[in-house]
Amino acid sequence: MRLEATELTDDERALQQEVRSWLRKRLPVGSYPLGLGMSGEIDPEFSRDLGAQGWLGMALPTEYGGHGRTAVERLIVVEELLAVGAPVGFHWVGDRQSGPSIAKHGTEEQKRDLLPRIARGEVSFAIGMSEPDSGSDLASLRTRAVREGDGWRVNGTKIWTSGAYESTHILALFRTSEDKHTGLTQFIVPRETEGMSINKIPFIDGTRHFCEISFEDMYLPDSLRMGEVGGGWGQNTAELVLERGGVDRWMSVMPILENWATSRSVEGDAAAAADLGAIAARSWAFRGMSLSVARMVDEGKSPVTEAALIKEMATRFEQECTDIVARHYGRTPDLHSDDPHESLLARAILVSPSWSIRGGTNEILRTVISKGLNKR
């Protein structure tokens, strides 16, 4: 494993300034609810505005409505969005991983139908992977799609599916044969498909972002299958590179950190200053790692091990940042405070334990890292 040191080019820095300037006008301070990274609010209008700027579907092929730009350029846009806690919830999954996966594995019809709409911020995806009783072992999932005529009959349950209730499509992984890994196949399921029901799950902070999805004799035409039958495990694993190695794994608390760094509570407090310095140094290191992974993706590589390493380390870092700011806060922050940063800190304290679970637990990631290193 080797993460090459890299810096932004002049053109990439110009894009960074362009995005930063646009966000100052589109999202003036106090005009929107602050979000915790990828868990930002769902705002379809903001997503459409972002799409109009050409900042969604950036790396998708131009013939399908994308912009043919690089993974690094997309990282730059995402970094600026997360830095201000932007309402990215509507387009997040489709832009980050469903779009690139459809571009690579989808049929011509799927590409022409969905990719332009992803780039315009018109559709929203959720990822149907986790299931009851499957724990972190994705290969043990049991929701089954059985061949029936020209399609598939699906029965089973998905759980902890983020944003499914508001999404327009679910990119779901179903079991199509008994083989543990080659018995899995991906399908693109429209939200209103008959036989699929979605229920929100109350979370500890009062939000209802997670969902349970039930499939009861749901029929899917074969045209909704994505990729080869039995190819779902490989496709899904490749998607996780896009999910695990990005800046979204260490920037959830950036609005909280920026507010704390400029607050009076840090001034004259040597211990707080020392903690802030350590956080800044580690943030810079994680930023360099994510940038290096994005360069590797642009070179056509699939840095599965490197992305797993970033997620394992970065999500623990986010949790430590939350603990540090909470310790210096001096009192228990109020979830219902009128101060948006206090409310956001309270929310972070409640939900941060989940950050090292979503997208793969630390135990799973350490297994991925170990296996990856042993192959080299």
8 A C-beta contact, residue 183 and residue 175? yes
> Which range, of 12-16, 152-156, 314-318, averages the lowest pLDDT?
314-318
| 87-125 pLDDT per residue, tens | 999 999 999 989 999 999 999 999 999 999 999 999 999
| 33-92 pLDDT per residue, tens | 999 998 899 999 999 999 999 999 998 999 999 999 999 999 999 999 999 999 999 999
**pTM for this structure?**
0.91
| 158-175 pLDDT per residue, tens | 998 989 999 999 999 999
- Per the DSSP assignment, residues forming a β-bridge with 65 are none
8 A C-beta contact, residue 129 and residue 158? yes
8 A C-beta contact, residue 194 and residue 218? yes
Task: Extract the tokens encoding 311.
Answer: 């997620």
